[in-house]
A = this chain, B = another copy of it.
Amino acid sequence: MPGLQTKPPSRIQQENRRAILDAALDAFSTHGFRGTTLDQIAEKAGLSKPNLLYYFPSKEAIHTELLSGLLDTWLDPLRALDPAGDPKAELLRYVHRKLEMSREMPRESRLFANEVLQGAPHLGPLLGTGLKALVDEKTVVLRAWMDEGRIARLHPVHLIFSIWALTQHYADFDVQVRAVLGDEGTDPYPEASLFIDTLFTKLLSP
Contacts and interface: CB of A to CB of B under 8 A. Distances in A.
A141 to B, nearest CB: 15
A202 B158 CA distance: 15
Interface in A119-177: 119-120, 127-128, 131-132, 135, 152, 154-155, 157-162, 164-166, 168-170, 172-173, 175-177
A21 interface: no
Given A32-B35, A127-B179, A117 B198 contact: no
A7 interface: no
Contact of A119 (B118, B165, B175, B205): B175
A22 to B, nearest CB: 19
Contact of A166 (B30, B165, B202): B165
A161 B167 CA distance: 11
Given A155-B194, A176-B131, A195-B155, A117 B118 contact: no
A31 B198 contact: no
Nearest to A120: B175
Listed from nearest, the 9 A-B pairs whose CB atoms lie closest are A165-B169, A34-B35, A127-B179, A158-B195, A128-B179, A165-B165, A32-B32, A120-B175, A155-B195
